Amino acid sequence: MATGLVYSPLFLAHRPVGYHPENEERLSRSVAHLQGAGLWERVRHLEIAPADEASLARLHTPEHIDRVRRIAGAGGGHSDPDTYLSGESFAAASLAAGGACAAVEAVLGGEVENAFCLVRPPGHHARPAGPMGFCLFNNLALAARHLQEEFGLERILVFDFDLHHGNGVQDAFYRDPGVFYISLHKFPFFPGTGAAGERGDGRGRAFTLNIPLGWRISAEEYMEHFGAALRRARDYRPQFVLLAAGFDAYTFDPIGNYCLEEHHYREITRRLRELATESCGGRLVSTLEGGYHPTHLPRLITAHLEELL
């Protein structure tokens, strides 16, 4: 079985004016590195289409969708001080969301065993009612909704190892026992959410697991917390595994500057892939979130994809 890859040159058209850490070189350099490493030919490149308005509305409000379309249609601007749009941003964000949904379809349909979505803009901070933290539409949360509404899945694991808490994913499923959201993240840190006491509400109580980590921890401590989270994930017996693959906990990341090295990301990916194999026949889709080192990020993405392969 092959590993699928979601990518389009349109993702490069989402461009800031001036410097911004979330820029098109994150993907262009990564594509070049994957090609040089011989992985570009080893994956199955998946056909993708933009998420239509009805699909986006499974998670996002009409006002939110219209606002992204309007700002992009006017040539770009900012939805908040951190989050920019250019003229092609609505198209790129819609395609990123559609790509994540196409990836889960390809896995469920047996076309590929697992898939990595090399997309931008990222998604896990995007809330139902608005963009946030470089994110316009919540790619991974929309893929989870797609699995629920189109395929009837009842136990979906979203495992988020980005340095930042994925508040948008948490908001989307806080009352939903059908999605178990697990996040390891630096705390207190942007976006300010993700305390250990945030565990879900109503029927979703205990289906959110936040593991807030201090500002100064070792990689060994991080991996101990990861192992504990993995045990909880295994007990859930997921029918599908979704990964919010952020690489900003890397030790040299300009935003994160945290504690992980390349071999830790390999181990994290390998163990999550093993979990998917044990629980749901290997059904796993990963989407790119954070990670901002211009030359090291491509190596981390390559390591992640090698382990999926």
**Active site positions, annotated:** 125
CA atoms of 257 and 276, how far apart (whole Å): 29
- The one-letter amino acid at 88: E
Burial of 309 (0-12, 13-18, 19+ CB in 10 A): middle
- Distances 191 to 82, 85, 86, 124, 194 between C-alpha atoms, Å: 11, 20, 23, 11, 8
| 211-220, Cβ contacts within 8 angstroms, sequence gap of 24 or more | 211/182, 211/183, 211/184, 211/185, 212/165, 212/185, 212/186, 212/187, 212/188, 213/184, 213/185, 213/186, 213/187, 214/186, 214/187, 215/186, 215/189, 217/259, 218/259, 219/259, 219/260, 219/261, 219/264
Say if residues 158 and 147 touch (Cβ distance below 8 Å): no
Structure tokens at 17: 């004016």
- Distances 3 to 246, 264, 308 between C-alpha atoms, Å: 19, 21, 7
Say if residues 248 and 265 touch (Cβ distance below 8 Å): no
CA atoms of 140 and 51, how far apart (whole Å): 13
Say if residues 108 and 283 touch (Cβ distance below 8 Å): yes
CA atoms of 94 and 106, how far apart (whole Å): 18
**Residue 18: how many CB atoms within 10 A of its CB?**
6
